[in-house]
Amino acid sequence: MTKQIEQFHQLVLQDSSLKEKLKQSGDRESFLNLAVELGKQNGYSFTYSEVKAYISQNLLAIAQQFL
């Protein structure tokens, strides 16, 4: 997994317009495709599969904190 996704994630947390665009995606597939596109627009390079894996890994870490 690339550092690019982590860096983009931090950018999204700081940029309310990016956050709103992602919130407006209708479903998971749209969200993942939009994340890749917005990443490219902001100078990052990662794939749909990398975003999907990053999200899955972070959800697991969050869930483990509450077990």
Query: If you write DSSP's letter for every residue of 1-63 in order, what string do you get?
Result: --HHHHHHHHHHHH-HHHHHHHHT--SHHHHHHHHHHHHHHTT----HHHHHHHHHHHHHHHH
Number of domains in the chain: 1
- Predicted local distance difference test score (pLDDT) of residue 62: 46
Q: What is the pTM of this model?
A: 0.84
CB atoms within 10 A of CB 5: 23
The whole domain housing 53 covers 3-65
pLDDT beneath 70, residues of the chain: 1, 61-67
Q: What is the pLDDT, as a whole number, of residue 65?
A: 55
